[in-house]
Structure 1
Amino acid sequence: MKNKVLLTSAVTGAGDTLEKNPHVPVTPKEIAESAIESAKAGATVAHVHARDPKTGGISHNMDHYREIVDRIRESETDVIINITSGGGGDFIPSLSTPAAGGDGTDIQIPSERHEPVGELLPEMCTLDCGSTNFGNMIYMSPTDWLRDQAKMVQESGVKPELECFDTGHIRFANQLIKEGLVDGDPMFQFCLGIPWGAAADAETILYMKNRIPENAHWSAFGIGRMQMPMASQTAILGGNIRVGLEDNIYLSKGVPAKNEQLVDKSVSMLQGMDLEPMTPQEAREYLQLRNSRGGQSS
């Protein structure tokens, strides 16, 4: 779509970021409101995780997901909802309990990871396409589990966003496509700069971009201080972009951000390139999404 870019706001992740930025949304109400404010600022898509309102940590509670999605859908602001399906993949190595993992290990089987997607039927969801070293943690997403998840996502009619944290993930995402587990034109997300995955630089973007199918759509993001540089580089190379407090909590050095501020900054950056964000309806047609009422965009 000429001069149009899909702009995703990843409004909150599962990381321990609240102490560094009080604007990180935690409760279902805060997460939904931040998604809505991001949309008002120009975001096409709101990517959401649920957090435990009491601890601020990751939550798999369906009531939390349900409240977030209901609040967004009931608002007067249109935005495409993209729910994570990557929860419950954290393995913390432990010398004392190597088979079971140490404190903080949080593993869900594919059906549990899929539950918020299968019940709430958002228009999009993420699908993390492989395991990776994530700092000193291992994010676990075995290939047979991924096939099971991909099949469940496919049967639900939700559009998977194929999250690739390293180059091998591109290879396996292409294998899922080859096996018929991804319908329509695939959507890739290049996740850059996470220790120790793919690097956040233009060379890596080009490497990954050149290895996806010709009919694929793609987006990329960088974390921390590389968020805006990678957004700019991605737009230059013809991709879609993602910003938000899941990936970066600062507006500038030492200044805590709000999601809508990061979106607004991205919109200004795009305008300087003679680009603008897609509206949610434009993106539904671009990606051929099932809309929130269960139909298919024309």
Structure 2
Amino acid sequence: MPLTPNREVFITCAVTGAGDTTGRSDKVPVTPEQIAAASVAAAQAGAAIAHIHVRDPETGRGSRDPALYREVVERIRDSGTDMVLNLTAGMGGDLVLGSTEAPFPTDPAGTDMVGATERLVHIAELRPEICTLDCGTMNFGEGDYVMTNTPAMLKEMARQIKALGVRPEIEVFDTGHLLLAQWLKAQGVIDDPVMIQLCMGIPWGAPDDLGTFKAIVDNVPEGWTFSAFSIGRNQMPYAALAMLAGGNIRVGLEDNIWLDKGVLATNEALVARAVTVVQSLGGRVLEPAEVRRKLGLEKRW
């Protein structure tokens, strides 16, 4: 795929994630009320899509409790704010080995491995327009955590997502994940138009250097829609880079808690800055209705 600037850009805001960021920033939303409010604020700032995880309100840790997702979605819908909802389906594939000398039994505090249907319970109930599909297995961080998504698991999850009428956003963390996404498409479990997210700079996935990014973008199949992001201080440079490479933008507190050096960000402030980036580069930010037409989405409310 040639690197041609995208002049019609949609912005996704990943409002909270599941990582250990709540101890480093009081701006990261935790409760369903806070996550819904953050999503609405991001939409008002210019994000067409809200990418949503939920957290245990008591501990702040990532959760896959369908009741928490239901409350977030209902609060957003009751607000009357138009936005495209993208719920994560990444939870339930978490493997934390016991130790370097005794990998088994696994660490029960961090391991959460469940079947395809259980990973999609909240998707089946709430029918968001989009849900994520983490397209591969990889090490994360410096400990013993492994993000676990086998080809068989992904094929079954993709099949169920398709049957629900939800558009999967394929999360590509490394170069081989793009090949796995192409294989899933060839298996007939992903419909056009295919939507992928290039997740750069996450240890130990694809580094966020220009050469690696271009190598991945060059291999995105013709007709696929992609967004891209990097984490930490490279979040905003990647907003510009994604647009210049022909893609769309993701920002938000899931990936970066800072607006400027020493200044904690809010989701809406990050979105507002991304809007400025798009406009400064001669582009236009798409509204939710335009994104639905582009991606073939059905408005759910």
Name the amino acid aligned to 1:156.
Answer: L
Is the CA contact 1:133–1:195 (under 8 Å) kept in the aligned structure 2? yes
Residues 1:117 and 2:108 aligned together: no
Gaps of 5+ in 2: none
Residues 1:277 and 2:285 aligned together: yes
Is the CA contact 1:201–1:230 (under 8 Å) kept in the aligned structure 2? no
- Larger mean Cα displacement after TM superposition, 67-76 or 1-10: 1-10
CA distance in 1, matches of 2:146, 2:67: 28
| 1:264 match | 272
Give the ranges of 4+ consecutive aligned residues of structure 1 lying more than 3 Å apart after TM superposition: none
Residues 1:62 and 2:66 aligned together: yes
Name the amino acid aligned to 1:8.
Answer: T
Q: 2:46 aligns with which of 42, 46, 50?
A: 42
TM-score by length of 1: 0.95
| 1:73 match | 77
Q: What SS does structure 1 have at the residue aligned with 2:120?
A: helix
Is the CA contact 1:174–1:212 (under 8 Å) kept in the aligned structure 2? no
CA distance in 1, matches of 2:238, 2:114: 31
Instruction: Give the C-alpha shift of residue 80 in structure 1.
Output: 0.3
Instruction: Give CA deviations for 1:151-172 in whole Å, capped at 9, x if unaligned.
Output: 0100011010010000110000
Residues 1:186 and 2:191 aligned together: no
Instruction: Give the C-alpha shift of residue 276 in structure 1.
Output: 2.2
- Larger mean Cα displacement after TM superposition, 54-63 or 32-41: 54-63
- Superposed CA RMSD: 1.3
How do 1:20-169 residues align onto structure 2 when only pairs under 5 Å count?
20-95=24-99, 98-102=103-107, 103-135=109-141, 136=143, 137-169=145-177
| 2:255 match | 247
| 1:13 match | 17
Is the CA contact 1:45–1:79 (under 8 Å) kept in the aligned structure 2? yes
Name the amino acid aligned to 2:119.
Answer: R
| 1:170 match | 178
TM-score by length of 2: 0.94
Q: What SS does structure 1 have at the residue aligned with 2:159?
A: helix
Tell me: higher relative CO, structure 1 or 2? Use CA pairs within 8 A at least 6 residues apart.
2
CA distance in 2, matches of 1:110, 1:228: 34
Gaps of 5+ in 1: 294-298
